[in-house]
């Protein structure tokens, strides 16, 4: 996947996620970007860690993050690495007010793309200990 196509797909994904995390009830825009058998893997020791399989499970994971962040969670893409294959990597910053405290973090998302949709995501926090603490508050 070339870089321009990767940036476009991730920008659409993050726009749909940010709208949803801000309180949007419509999951259609998100669901259309996900392959039916999507896998979303989040490492760590916190309430949203684990592997979420299938569109409904991934959307439930997104809902849980929205609840924990009380609709304050926002994501911003920083950089994208793309090449000839079906995987792309994106450095993304997150910010949310959790348990009354504004928190921020950075992750690398490694995405597998199939037919123009996200087939898998492996989230890699740059500071796992801090990420665990943030999402456990």
The pTM score is 0.93
CATH number for position 67: 3.10.450.50
Q: Report, as an integer, the average pLDDT of 12-33.
A: 92
Distance of alpha carbon 40 from alpha carbon 42, whole angstroms: 7
Q: How many domains does the chain have?
A: 1
**109 near 103, Cβ under 8 Å?**
no
Q: Report, as an integer, the average pLDDT of 21-37.
A: 92
pLDDT at 36 over 90: yes
Domain enclosing residue 20, as ranges: 3-136
């Amino acid at each position: 996947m070339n870089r321009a196509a990767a940036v476009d797909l991730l920008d659409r994904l993050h726009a749909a996620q940010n709208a949803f995390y801000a309180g949007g009830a419509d999951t259609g825009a998100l669901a259309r970007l996900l392959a039916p058998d999507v896998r979303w893997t989040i490492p760590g020791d916190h309430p949203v860690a684990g592997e979420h399989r299938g569109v409904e499970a991934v959307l439930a994971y997104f809902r849980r993050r929205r609840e924990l962040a009380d609709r304050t969670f926002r994501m911003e893409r920083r950089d994208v690495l793309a090449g000839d294959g079906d995987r792309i990597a994106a450095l993304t910053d997150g910010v949310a007010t959790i348990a009354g405290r504004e928190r921020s973090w950075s992750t690398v998302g490694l995405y597998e793309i199939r037919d123009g949709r996200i087939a898998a995501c492996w989230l890699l926090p740059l500071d796992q200990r801090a990420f665990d603490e943030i999402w456990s508050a």
